Amino acid sequence: RRLDMRPLKEAIAEAVVQLCQENLASIKEAAVLDIVYNHTFQNKRVWTVYQMTKATGGETDIFDFTAFKRKFKRRIQSSLINVTINFKEFEDNAIWIRIAWGTSYTKPNQYKATYVVYHSQTPYAFISKSINRSNLPLLCQALIVASNYGDIREMELRSHCLDSLKDIVFKRYSQTFQTHHPKPLQERNVAPENVDPRLIQEDKSEKERIQRVNREVFGDGPQPKLEFAQYKLETMFKSNPKMVNVSERESFRCLVKFSSPHLLEALKSLAPAGMADAPLSPLLTCIPHKARNYFKIKERKGVLAASLVSP
């Protein structure tokens, strides 16, 4: 027998509406509730990281939240009246901003709001991927005006997991340090799993090498959680010269995308699982250090070899 939840849901919805009416709730309360919801379920959205830079000679001012809110609202509303802007500060110094956009003729669309997460002690802002990119320049301007920065740029770093993005740009994950004196291999405290003397592992030293290389590259701690790495190739097609028409010297366009529920942990486990050589390609392992998971690979001038291009 199926339980019909609909009357129950309707009853709850009606009770909530009544409660709101009695307490003269307004859009403001609804917006703040929306922020709380999205903060709790923040990993439902895809977040892009933006980095702000100080204007030359700018000083680090003490952060004034009230002034920030005022300047932000003023900058946006000077261009667009029909907006709903709300703020909420959370425990880890994260300021959440919710913006519902309208146009000159229409009221703000409360169902397609943009969310911005800003940590005042850092030059980083995280913006939820919004469908309406035409409002993005205005949003960016308001951010730098309100936070006293000079410029803002979009980083090539995107993920569902907001905390992991913070871990990467705030450098909160366990980093590896290139040592010139490699530590002697420490015997891990693992109980001997197979005491059967009839089973002999021939390439123990190779396995230990793989573990050591992995530790050097990835560190010991948990990896930040990313779902994608994307490589856009703009390189020449290399093949038997007879096959390709020499006059067709166009770049061969190709997109390689790696996806996984937890990409970096998956990459870390490839060599130990016997699925790849160790060490992995630096194109993959540089992701947290370079704080990017979207790459463009171009031809290296002079030598026909692919090289990594960073802006």
Name which of 276 and 286 has its Cβ closer to other proteins.
276
Residue numbers 249-278 binding other proteins by CB under 8 A = 273-277
Name which of 194 and 310 has its Cβ closer to other proteins.
194
**Nearest approach, Cβ of 225 to other proteins (angstroms)?**
24
Site string for other proteins, 234-253 (x = CB under 8 A): --------------------
One residue of 6, 198, 249, 301 binding other proteins per CB under 8 A: 198
**Nearest approach, Cβ of 278 to other proteins (angstroms)?**
12
* Residue (of 283, 277, 307) closest to 230 by Cα position: 283
Question: What angle in degrees, to the nearest 10, is found between the helix axes of 263-270 and 204-218?
Answer: 150
- 120: which strand partners? none
How would you label 225-246 residue by residue, b for 16+ Cβ within 10 Å and e otherwise? Answer: bbbebbbebebeeeeeeeeeee
**Nearest approach, Cβ of 277 to other proteins (angstroms)?**
8
Sequence-distant (6+) residues with CB within 8 A of 227 are 159, 160, 161, 259, 260, 261, 262, 263
Question: What angle in degrees, to the nearest 10, is found between the helix axes of 65-79 and 136-147?
Answer: 150
- Residues touching other proteins: how many (CB under 8 A)? 17
Name which of 39 and 212 has its Cβ closer to other proteins.
212
Helix (H) or strand (E) holding 104: none
Is 185 an interacting residue with respect to other proteins (CB under 8 A)? no
φ/ψ of 57, rounded to 5, equals 85, 0
Segment lying near other proteins (by CB under 8 A), choices 37-45, 123-131, 189-197, 255-263: 189-197
What residue ranges bind other proteins (CB under 8 A)?
194, 196-203, 205-207, 273-277
